Amino acid sequence: MRHACWHHRHVLFRAMGDPLTDMPLKITGMLPKVISMLFTMRGKLPKVMSMLFTMRGMLLMFRGALFTMRGMLLMFRGALSTTVLISGLMWVQWQSITRFEAWTILMPEVHHQALSN
């Protein structure tokens, strides 16, 4: 039965054109090599994957750092603008207060002395 099967294969290869009867033998001879290559590749795969992942992680971390830096800058800018705004408002209020009132606010005892005299 097995012989018949082989014969059929033989006929098939003959039909394909050249006498490729030794082709299956070559393939079967190469199989262990191919399998070992696949296995070594499979063995190397996790390393490659981990490397890729670490690189991706580094990139993400870098991006995160950039974003945090940007956020800090924005925060800093916001703080600066708020301080400027507050100081400006205070300055405006300070200007709106008359000089005399300011004097009384700053140095009440001097003001009292001036009034008593």
37-53 tens-digit pLDDT? 878 877 777 787 788 88
pLDDT digits (tens, 9 = 90+) for 36-94: 887 887 777 778 778 888 888 888 888 888 888 888 888 888 888 888 888 877 777 76
Rounded Cα–Cα distance for residues 46 and 37 (Å): 15
Report yes or no on whether pTM surpasses 0.75.
Answer: no
Q: Where are the beta strands (DSSP E) in 1-117?
A: none
- Are the C-beta atoms of residues 76 and 69 closer than 8 Å to each other? no
Q: Which domain holds residue 60?
A: 2-116
Give the pLDDT score at 31.
80
Domain count, the chain: 1
Residue 7 has pLDDT above 80, yes or no: no
